[in-house]
Structure 1
Amino acid sequence: MTSIDGSVREFHRADLQKELLSVANVFASTIQAPAGEPRLPESMVAPAAGEGPRLTLVAADGRVLQDNQSPATEMDNHADRPEIIDALESGAGRSIRFSQTVGADLVYAAIAIPRPAGDTVILRVSQPLSRVTATERRITTAIGIALTAAVLVTLLTLIFLSRSISSRTRRAALAARRFSSGDFTGRLQEDGPIEFSGLARSLNGMAEKLDASISTLQVQTSEMLAILQSMSNAVIALDREHRIIRLNNASLQMFDLADIDLRGRLLEEVIREPALQKAADTALKSGIRYSAEIPFSRSTRIAELIAEPMADGQGETIGTVVVLEEVTRLRRLEQIRTDFAANVSHELRTPITSISGYAEILQETDDPELIRKCGDVIVRNTSRLSAIIEDLLALARIEDPQRRSMLELESVQIGSVFDSVIHSTKEAAQAQKVTITCHVDGEPTVRGTRPLLEQAISNLLSNAIKYGGGDAPIEIRCSTTDDGMVRIEVEDFGAGIANEHLDRIFERFYRVDRSRSRELGGTGLGLAIVKHITSVLGGNIQAKSQLGVGTIFIITLPAG
């Protein structure tokens, strides 16, 4: 405020001095200039003139010639007054100083007036500084009030603008924070100043694009995960340090892993399969696909493995993808097929060789007894060959998916099936002096076909007659279980089967005693046929045996 007062004072006093000079110039033209001394106009020395500016006429030597407010004779010589000195030197002079005559501070302005007689007089105009100070105070007060009002208005405007800007900035920051966290539900209002409306439009546009991009990525990620999780092959993605990036459900099942988040853990820490780790390492280091068939170190399972380097969008290798397909069942089937082919060849070759050999003997002999013996051997081996072929055809029919789908299942009474089977095996039982007893609990029925049920039970009963031992009884039983299944049992009291054979007796051509089986005319396919029939009818079969005590075969089928 002090600097404002000083500036106002300096400006106002300088302006007043200019005004006083202008007044002096106006009065200079009205000063009377006869041959005598110059005089002020009468109007300026009238009593009322005291209210206006003070006019003083001074000679060049400093004598006061006339003053409109004080007697000139009582006034000192003014030759040393600054304004008089300046006026004589430059034609005009100004000063602000204390007046000895008036006893107060005055503002002075003086001009030099050349006269026709060749001399110069000075007209000085002055005004009390007290009047100027009062005016200055009024101006300063007015300026102070105006500045205060302006400052208040400015502060209020700034506060309003600050709050408005702060509120808009806060809303924009909150919106940006929501957008960055993935929440695109809200939008900013696009009103207000152009800067904020432009910022709001930019943020809203960014949110819409991010929302669309993230939604697209989420859909694509969900699709990829769904495809990955629905794959039957095990898929494991690894980084360059062999840490798990992702694996699918098939991997968890293949390696018996708990359904927990395994990402970031080392492969060798989670899956202890050296062959798998070697494959991943080889593919990563070589940069090319690596494939192999690996056995599992802790089980009898086998898997086909493909390990391939995994690259990012720039083609940089970032890890390895390992795909495994379990081929244990396939390899087992291939082995079964190989064994089956070998067994079929062997089983067929034996009777064919016998038939061929004895046929050649018949061509070379006329001995009736030898001819009869050769004929018996040929007939027996022909029957055996026919039985093998019939059993193979029966297996083929049962395993044929098309034939299985065409089966018309019906409700079949087990009691009538037992009667039919016992009747068909009656002669064989009598020949072995075997007694067959039958017990059926109620009238159980199963869902199946009569021919298949008769063949399954007949095979079990025929085996019991052949291998049960002479004079040993055979029991066949049927009952209904609590869970709605029908339980069929065929039990003999023969020599029994050792435990090491029980898991394999349902395999094709598997025999516990090969020599005895051929002697009794067995093909090695009877139990395999029974197992397939029970499987087709939705049931299962198991065998229990104890050496020297006997064997019991148990078929469980859905009740019908």
Structure 2
Amino acid sequence: MTIAQKPILSLNQKLLLSVILLFAAFSLCFIGFQYNREKEFKVELLNTKLQDYNARLYEEICDSGNIEKTLNKYTKRHTIKGLRVTIITLDGKVIYDNLKKDYNKIENHSNRPEVKQALSKGNGYDLRRTSETTGYPSFYSASLYDKYIVRSALPYNMDLVSSLKADYKFVWFTAIVTLILTIIFSRFTKKIGTSIAQLREFTRRADRNEALDMDMANAFPNNELGDISQHIIKIYNRLHDTKEALYIEREKLITHLQISHEGLGIFTADKKEILVNNLFTQYSNLISDVNLQNAEEVFSLPEIQKITEYISKAQKRPAGNEERRMSINLDKNGRIFVVECIIFQDQSFEISINDITQEEEQVRMKRQLTQNIAHELKTPVSSIQGYLETIVNNESLPKDKLKTFLERCYAQSNRLTRLLRDISVLTRMDEASNMIDMEKVEISSLVQSIIKDVALELEEKNIKVNNALNKELPIRGNASLIYSIFRNLMDNAIAYAGNDISINIKCFREDESSYYFSFSDTGVGVAPEHLNRLFERFYRVDKGRSRKIGGTGLGLAIVKNSVIIHGGNISAKNNQGGGLEFIFTLAKS
């Protein structure tokens, strides 16, 4: 790419130079014209003077009969230095010449320019001609009268040249006026040059898409060009700000499209790609049986033929205020998609593809959860109802049987209470997790209080607890949920791990943001196929045994949700030496 060379002269310098040259040419023409006019005026003035002399001389001739004697006296009496007087007949013969005694021998003067002019116009002159008689240049002036032509001539010497010389005062006047006008125009072109230089800087910065401050606008001269330039800069700044705002909004839109959880594609009216995000490409290929080379090939898929037909029909109708959209559901490759099309006013359109497989799965799970809850509630309610019905219908029931039935009713009511409590806790975590109060919690002291609460159960099963937590493990969290994490893990180990085991609690790692905990036991462990489902609601490894023990099937689900609320995650694995280990993290704040 060639770099444009900087011009030798700036625009204002070229303009000033052009004006100066124009003024100079005008001045030279004016001086030349005025000089010729002055010279002609002097010549006319001298000619008039000699014509007057000729007229007086002719009057003398008319009053006297002797031409030569009269003329000699007259020329001596009215002396003009170097003046030559010649009397010529109408046919060009010289009959008198005051400077030539033998004037009879002078050749015919009918071919002289001044004589020719006098014969044709009445008078004439010749500015500078060398006389054939005297041999030196002279100024001739001839006048035609009735019988004669009177011609007077002055020698073209320094005196005559000086008298005919033009007055040069007008030259100085013209030069001074030209200089003043040059200075004035120089200042004017300097202002223009300043404005042009500022405009050049403006275009240079505008080409680089730079914002312009008002100091640059105020730098222009206070004239019409400056006002226009200031308005241009103000308009440019408004356009630049608008462009920047649109660019920011465009970047926001692109960012939104790229991080959106739905596949989005925007196309022109003729189905050319404007912008698509990664999910649109991914979902399109999941719907298609072959890999698509570009986003525009999506319109050839038979699965969305209804959408394609709708777009073609809708674009043929005039755009109105009504919203033009259509959506279809697709079940492909084990996934459920919702494909929706929205057509805009300019006939461009947007296609969105949403994978609702997870939502459908959640609906299914909620339906299953409802069924599980109904089933779990049905068991204790049925038991309580059966025992109470037996008691009501048998008035003679022995006291020991009555006591046993009442104890079983009480146990089932406790189980029902725990079940409702756990369901309430899970519901609160699902629906209002952001409204849970957070405070400073000391995990070590909280775990120590749990160990004291279950001391009798630990003693009954001969379970030893090794609490290796440091005395100070502060986090910002909800004390009730933190308690439920360790309490449910403790209850789970006591209920299912077996007798004569050890429970080990420790924080094995710490970084800037989280604590890493291990809760393990040396019990019977869990079969590998159950590990991934331990945190599902109402999932039981041994359903019959769990109900006998009194578990609700929601404890580990509560643990998982509580951990997630506190910015962590949890997983379970079997220890190599036997037993089950839960590894989880909790955020410090």
TM-score range, shorter chain: 0.5 to 0.7
User: For the residues of structure 2 that align with 1:383 and 1:528, how far apart are their CA atoms?
Assistant: 23
SS in 1 for 2:556: helix
Tell me: CA distance 1:316–1:91, structure 2 relative to 1, closer, same or farther (3 Å). same
**Deviation by residue 1:178-198 (Cα, 9 ceiling, x = unmatched):** 463435232465559xxxx32
Equivalent in the alignment of 1:76: 106
The match for 1:440 is 467
Amino acid of the residue matched to residue 341 of structure 1? Answer: T
Aligned to 2:7: none
1:28 aligns with 2:58: yes
The answer to whether the aligner puts 1:526 opposite 2:552 as a matched pair is: no
Structure 1 segment 129-140 matched on structure 2, within 5 A: 129=156, 134=161, 138-139=165-166
Q: Identify the residue that residue 135 of structure 2 maps to in structure 1.
A: 103
Kindly tell me: are residues 322 and 170 of structure 1, through their superposed partners in 2, closer, same or farther at Cα, counting changes over 3 Å?
Answer: same
Gaps of 5+ in 1: 115-119, 256-265, 430-434
2:422 matched to which residue of 1?
394
User: Which residue among 376, 389, 393 is the counterpart of 1:347?
Assistant: 376
TM-score by length of 1: 0.66
Which of residues 228, 234, 242 is equivalent to 1:208? 234
Shift of 1:396: 0.7
Letter in 2 for 1:67: D
Instruction: Note the C-alpha offset of 1:200.
Output: 1.8
Amino acid at match of 1:289: R
**CA–CA distance in 2 between the matches of 1:87 and 1:453?**
138
Instruction: Tell me, in whole angstroms, the C-alpha distance in 2 between the residues paired with 1:344 and 1:337.
Output: 10
Shift of 1:391: 1.8
**Contact 1:421–1:458 (8 Å) recurs in 2:** no
What does 1:340-419 correspond to in 2, within 5 Å?
340-350=369-379, 383-384=411-412, 387-397=415-425, 399-400=427-428, 405=436, 411=442, 412-419=445-452
Cα distance change on mapping 1:275 and 1:172 into 2, 3 Å: farther
Question: Matched residue of 1:51: which SS?
Answer: coil
- Which one-letter code corresponds to 2:421 in the other structure? L
**Alpha-carbon spacing, 1:28–1:175, altered in 2? closer, same or farther (3 Å):** farther
Q: Residue 97 of structure 2 aligns with which residue? A: 67
Q: Which amino acid aligns with 1:436?
A: I
Distance of aligned partners of 1:242 and 1:26 in 2 relative to their CA distance in 1, 3 Å threshold:
same
Residues in 1 aligned to 2:584 and 2:91: alpha-carbon distance in whole angstroms: 157
Determine the C-alpha separation between the residues in 2 that align with 1:446 and 1:399. Answer: 29
Question: Alignment length, in residue pairs?
Answer: 515
Which structure 2 residues correspond to residues 500-515 of structure 1 after superposition, within 5 A? Answer: 500-515=529-544
Who is 1:113 aligned against?
Answer: 145
Distance 1:462 1:521 in 2: 11
The answer on 1:423 being equivalent to 2:423 is no
Q: Which amino acid aligns with 2:237?
A: D
The letter of the residue matching 2:83 is P
Question: How has the CA–CA distance of structure 1 residues 223 and 558 changed in structure 2, closer, same or farther, with 3 Å as cutoff?
Answer: closer
Shift, 1:387, TM fit = 1.4
Aligned partner (choices 318, 321, 325) of residue 289 of structure 1: 325
Name the SS for the 1:400 alignment partner.
helix
Name the residue aligned to 1:127: 154
The 5 Å alignment of 1:111-510 reads 111-114=143-146, 120-129=147-156, 134=161, 138-139=165-166, 164=190, 167-168=193-194, 170-178=196-204, 180-181=206-207, 182-185=210-213, 186-187=216-217, 189=219, 191=221, 197-215=223-241, 218=244, 222=248, 233=260, 238=266, 240=268, 243=273, 268=295, 286=314, 288-291=324-327, 308-309=342-343, 316-317=346-347, 319-320=348-349, 333-350=362-379, 383-384=411-412, 387-397=415-425, 399-400=427-428, 405=436, 411=442, 412-424=445-457, 429=461, 435-441=462-468, 444=471, 459-460=488-489, 463-464=492-493, 467-468=496-497, 473-483=500-510, 485=515, 487=517, 489-494=519-524, 496-510=525-539
RMSD: 5.9
CA distance in 1, matches of 2:401, 2:568: 46
Alignment gaps of 5+ in structure 2:
1-27, 283-292, 316-323
Once residues 211 and 340 of structure 2 are traced to their aligned partners in structure 1, the CA distance between those partners, rounded to angstroms, is: 41
Per-residue deviation at 1:423? Answer: 0.7
What displacement does 1:203 show?
0.5
SS at match of 1:45: helix
For residue 259 of structure 1, what is the aligned residue in structure 2?
none
Between 1:498-507 and 1:542-551, the stretch displaced more is 542-551
TM-score, with normalisation over the residues of structure 2? 0.64
Identity percentage of aligned residues: 22
Whichever of the two has the greater Rg, that structure is: 1
CA deviations 1:517-557 (Å, max 9, x no partner) are 44655432232234345556776543222799443345666
Aligned equivalents of 1:278 and 1:546: distance in 2? 55
